[in-house]
Homo-oligomer: A and B are copies of this chain.
Amino acid sequence: MTTNETKACWIWYTGDFEVYHSMLLNDRREQNGFDYTCMWRSTRPEFNVRFNANVDIPEDSVFTVHVKGKGYLRLDGHSQRIDIPVHITRGRHELRFEVSCLETFPALYIDSEYVKTGADWNCERYDEIWRPVGCEPAMTSPDDDPAVFPFSYEDTPVRAKENVDSGSLLDFGTETFGPVTVTRTAAMGKILISYGESREEALDYEHAIITETLESGEDSVTMRSRAFRYLFVRTENGAEPTVTAKLEYIPIEDKASFSCDDELLSDIWKICTRTFHLNSREFYLDGIKRDRWVWSGDAYQSYMVNRYLYFEPSIIRRTIRALLGKRPAVRHVNTINDYSAYIIIAVWEYYFATGDMDFVNAVWDDITDLYHFIVSRLDEKTGYVVGRPGDWIFIDWANIDKDGPLCAEQILLWQTYLSMARLTALRGETDPGYQEKADALKTSILRDYWDEERGAFIDSYTSGKNWVSRHPNIFAILYDFVDQNTKERIAANVLHGDLAEPITTPYFKFFELMALSKMGDIETTQNYIDEYWGGMLKLGATTVWEQFDPRKHGVEHLEMYGMPYGCSLCHAWGSGPIALLGQFCAGVTPTSVGYETFDVAPQPGRYQHFDAVVPVQGGTVAVSYRDGKVKARATVPGGTLKFAGKSCEIPTDCDAVIEA
A91 vs chain B, min Cβ distance (A): 24
The segment from A28-36, A157-165, A274-282, A498-506 found at the interface with B is A28-36
The segment from A74-82, A222-230, A644-652 found at the interface with B is A74-82
A23 touches B40 (CB 8 A): no
CB-CB under 8 A from A397, the residues of chain B are none
The segment from A95-103, A259-267, A540-548 found at the interface with B is A95-103
A72 is an interface residue with CB less than 8 A from chain B: yes
CB-CB under 8 A from A589, the residues of chain B are none
A330 is an interface residue with CB less than 8 A from chain B: yes
A323 vs chain B, min Cβ distance (A): 14
Closest B residue, CB atoms, query A19: B47
A166 is an interface residue with CB less than 8 A from chain B: no
Query: A128-B389, A331-B126 given as contacts; is B43 within 8 A of A47 (CB)?
Result: yes
Query: A23-B47, A47-B23, A48-B26 given as contacts; is B41 within 8 A of A126 (CB)?
Result: yes
A137 is an interface residue with CB less than 8 A from chain B: no
Could you say which interface size class chain A belongs to? 35 or more
A428 is an interface residue with CB less than 8 A from chain B: no
A190 is an interface residue with CB less than 8 A from chain B: no
A285 vs chain B, min Cβ distance (A): 18
Per-position 1/0 for A45-71, Cβ under 8 A of B: 111100000000000000000000011
A127 is an interface residue with CB less than 8 A from chain B: yes
Within 8 A of B (CB), among A88-118: 98-100, 102-103
A609 is an interface residue with CB less than 8 A from chain B: no
A38 touches B100 (CB 8 A): yes
A24 is an interface residue with CB less than 8 A from chain B: yes
A328 touches B331 (CB 8 A): no
Our pick among B45, B70, B330 for the contact of A127 (Cβ within 8 Å) is B330
CB-CB under 8 A from A34, the residues of chain B are 72, 79-83
A414 vs chain B, min Cβ distance (A): 26
A36 CA to B72 CA, complexed, in Å? 7
A566 vs chain B, min Cβ distance (A): 13
A530 is an interface residue with CB less than 8 A from chain B: no
Closest B residue, CB atoms, query A70: B35
Our pick among B42, B43, B100, B103 for the contact of A37 (Cβ within 8 Å) is B100
A82 CA to B37 CA, complexed, in Å? 12
A125 is an interface residue with CB less than 8 A from chain B: yes
A446 vs chain B, min Cβ distance (A): 33
A98 CA to B36 CA, complexed, in Å? 8
Our pick among B27, B45, B46, B127 for the contact of A331 (Cβ within 8 Å) is B127
CB-CB under 8 A from A125, the residues of chain B are 41, 330
- A39, A125, A126: residue with the most chain B Cβ atoms closer than 10 Å: A126
A41 touches B37 (CB 8 A): no
A207 is an interface residue with CB less than 8 A from chain B: no
CB-CB under 8 A from A131, the residues of chain B are none
Closest B residue, CB atoms, query A100: B37
Query: A47-B23, A47-B44, A102-B27 given as contacts; is B128 within 8 A of A37 (CB)?
Result: no
CB-CB under 8 A from A33, the residues of chain B are 81
A390 is an interface residue with CB less than 8 A from chain B: yes
A391 vs chain B, min Cβ distance (A): 9
A37 touches B48 (CB 8 A): yes
A40 CA to B128 CA, complexed, in Å? 10
A59 vs chain B, min Cβ distance (A): 26
CB-CB under 8 A from A40, the residues of chain B are 126
CB-CB under 8 A from A38, the residues of chain B are 48, 100
Per-position 1/0 for A340-372, Cβ under 8 A of B: 000000000000000000000000000000000
B330 touches A102 (CB 8 A): no
Query: A102-B23, A128-B331, A330-B127 given as contacts; is B39 within 8 A of A47 (CB)?
Result: no
A460 CA to B376 CA, complexed, in Å? 41
A39 vs chain B, min Cβ distance (A): 7
A47 CA to B36 CA, complexed, in Å? 14
CB-CB under 8 A from A327, the residues of chain B are 328
A589 vs chain B, min Cβ distance (A): 38
- A33, A34, A99: residue with the most chain B Cβ atoms closer than 10 Å: A34
B47 touches A98 (CB 8 A): no
A103 CA to B103 CA, complexed, in Å? 7
A30 CA to B485 CA, complexed, in Å? 72
Closest B residue, CB atoms, query A32: B81
A102 touches B37 (CB 8 A): no
A102 touches B24 (CB 8 A): yes
A72 touches B328 (CB 8 A): no
Closest B residue, CB atoms, query A80: B34
A44 CA to B24 CA, complexed, in Å? 16
Closest B residue, CB atoms, query A31: B79
A15 vs chain B, min Cβ distance (A): 14
B35 touches A42 (CB 8 A): no
CB-CB under 8 A from A389, the residues of chain B are 128
CB-CB under 8 A from A331, the residues of chain B are 126-128
A33 CA to B73 CA, complexed, in Å? 13
A35 touches B71 (CB 8 A): yes
CB-CB under 8 A from A102, the residues of chain B are 23-24, 27
A37 touches B70 (CB 8 A): yes
B36 touches A41 (CB 8 A): no
Closest B residue, CB atoms, query A129: B330
A31 vs chain B, min Cβ distance (A): 8
Query: A48-B26, A126-B330, A330-B127 given as contacts; is B37 within 8 A of A72 (CB)?
Result: yes
Excluding A36-B72, A37-B99, A128-B390, 20 further A-B contacts by CB distance (< 8 Å) are A23-B47, A27-B47, A27-B48, A27-B70, A27-B100, A34-B79, A34-B82, A35-B70, A35-B100, A37-B70, A37-B71, A38-B48, A39-B126, A43-B47, A44-B44, A44-B45, A125-B330, A126-B335, A127-B390, A128-B331
Selected A-B contacts with CB under 8 Å, 14 pairs? A26-B48, A27-B102, A32-B81, A35-B70, A37-B71, A38-B100, A41-B48, A41-B125, A44-B46, A44-B47, A125-B330, A126-B331, A126-B335, A127-B331
The 6 nearest A-B residue pairs measured at CB: A128-B390, A34-B81, A127-B330, A41-B126, A37-B100, A35-B70
